[in-house]
Amino acid sequence: MKYLLLIAFSLCFIYFANAQGSHDNFKNKFDDVFEEDENENLTLRFFNALNGEAIPDAIVQIEKFGEFKSDEEGKVRFPIPDEDGFLQVHFECEKFITSDFKVEVIAGTLFFNRISVSPELDLKHLRIVLDWDATPKDLDAHFVKSNGYHISYRHTRVLTDGSGELDRDDMDGYGPETITIRNIDDLAEYEYLVHDYTNKANTSSAALARSKATVKVYGEGRLLYVFQIPQSRKGTEWSVFKLSQGQFIETNTLSN
Ligand SMILES: [Ca+2]
């Protein structure tokens, strides 16, 4: 599989990174919001992209603040920076893909603090991970091969033609919702999109744009791309990227 070029058509943030469904109910999803106020610390949280479980014992380097180790809840706490802006975050953990991310501090708080990281991945596999905020409750990932298959919560597994599956469908906010494809056909065309199932009947909904949805693409055994949803539009369907003849093409459009 070749990843030759990403063509950006918009001002959406794209972070180039180096080196790197079932419905769960065990996560303590809401506690970190309150912790920040009590301790004057910011909290980053790391989750396994395949099952949504916290990642403990990860080594996390945060720009300006040094090295931290994630606790049993996958949390890393660090002081509030003096200035707003982006911080580089380097993640390493046994059996996971070493990845570099950027997190944004706005008004002394993290714009988004949940990062789902892929377990190590075969070089030929492609894994697409969707994280978002508390609402909408149910976003759905769709991966469509033109004139081929359509993987989503409705049809979760393809056994031939590149074989792939929806590893995890999240229906109660935050994600991760994850799709893994085992072989990409360089002659074929694919599209990845996110649908706001919760607000599907409301064509004027801006809930998806406000969801802070983030899509991470892992391939060639590393983190290839991070896509952020555009925040100022309406629509219940976010086309994130197309994959055409081995090339990623950012589409980044919201529609109904
Ligand atoms: Ca879902």
The arithmetic mean of pLDDT across residues 167-176, rounded, is 97
Residues with CB under 5 A from ligand 1 (ion): 138, 140, 169-170
Report how far ligand 1's centroid is from the alpha carbon of 33 (Å).
22
Report how far ligand 1's centroid is from the alpha carbon of 79 (Å).
33
CA dist., res. 230 & res. 13, Å (int):
9
Report how far ligand 1's centroid is from the alpha carbon of 138 (Å).
5
Report how far ligand 1's centroid is from the alpha carbon of 178 (Å).
9
CA dist., res. 102 & res. 248, Å (int):
21
Report how far ligand 1's centroid is from the alpha carbon of 228 (Å).
18
The arithmetic mean of pLDDT across residues 124-149, rounded, is 97
* Residue 144 DSSP SS3: strand
The pLDDT assigned to 203 comes to 87
Confidence grade of residue 4 (pLDDT, cut at 50, 70, 90)? very low
Return the closest-CA partner of residue 148 out of 113, 114, 185, 117.
185
CA dist., res. 96 & res. 218, Å (int):
11
CB atoms within 10 A of CB 67: 11
What residues have CB less than 8 Å from 86, skipping those under 6 apart?
Answer: 102, 103, 104, 105
The model's pTM: 0.88
Report how far ligand 1's centroid is from the alpha carbon of 166 (Å).
10
Quick one: CA torsion of 171, 57, 62, 11, rounded to 10 degrees?
-30
Please, what are the domains in the chain? Answer: 6-17+26-255 (2.60.60.30)
Helices (H), the chain: 31-39
Name the least confident of 17-21, 26-30, 89-93, 179-183. 17-21
